[in-house]
Amino acid sequence: MLSVKRGMIILLCFYVNIGEANDVKNRVEGAINHLSELIKQKYQLSTTGYQTAMSRKGIFMTLKRGEEYTSAAKKMYPVSTLKKLALLQKNYINKSPVTGELKSPHHFVGDELSDALVRVRNKNFANCEMQNLEAAIHIYALGFKNLAIISNKAISHNYLLLEPSNLWPRGAIVDPWTGFDLRELDFKLRAKYKHFSKDIMVPKNIMDWLKKNAHKYVNKAWISRIRKKYFPGEGPEPLKNKLKPIESR
């Protein structure tokens, strides 16, 4: 009888642990997807987003995300839509107000990148690299710092990689530009994104900026909303104890 009771206790503990693990994963996933939704609501003007939605070429995006890009662009610029989006990007977003130099966000450093972030926020305009910088800023500020913005030349696209962790042992991709929720980087997704070492790089200037400036440029209202909904009473960096890095496999 005693051995039966012990077995039942062990089994109960096993199921309790599974339930707790699932709860943690669901909350972390929910928080990151909520963040992505906030970014999607903020940034519905995008040259690359509009082009991709209209042509249906390149990296796949959700139908809803494509409709957001096209409707926002047409509302802002009813005629010569793509041309005017391109001019906004060229003459305001990617142009240094100090030197007049035209750069890709990949090449902005220090204050240049800070200023570019302010400009995209002012216009609610961002292509993939800046949308994923927003995601990186907020996940970093929530306590998970093992992440990297990936520049992938094979698909001409940028996305945020969460490096392997206890919750996603193969890593995960966060990519609000496409409209998709967080996805684990399994073999199928790796092939879809052509996520192979020969084609990917991590822009060092952006990662250096992130480490120094994430907390300074975080949207406090977004963070407050996420913490209140998914991690009430768990401190300013709830992901620090929930999403733990592991060595890459």
Instruction: Give me the pLDDT at residue 21, please.
Output: 62
Tell me how far apart the alpha carbons of residues 2 and 38 are, in angstroms, rounded to a whole number.
54
In the numeric block, the tokens 């990689």 are attached to 161
**Averaged pLDDT, 116-131:** 97
Which letter does DSSP use for residue 184 in this model?
E
DSSP three-state, residue 145: coil
pLDDT in tens, 30-66: 999 999 999 999 999 999 999 999 987 667 899 999 9
pLDDT digits 0-9 by tens, 177-223: 999 999 999 999 999 999 999 999 999 999 999 999 999 999 999 99
d(CA 92, CA 84): 11
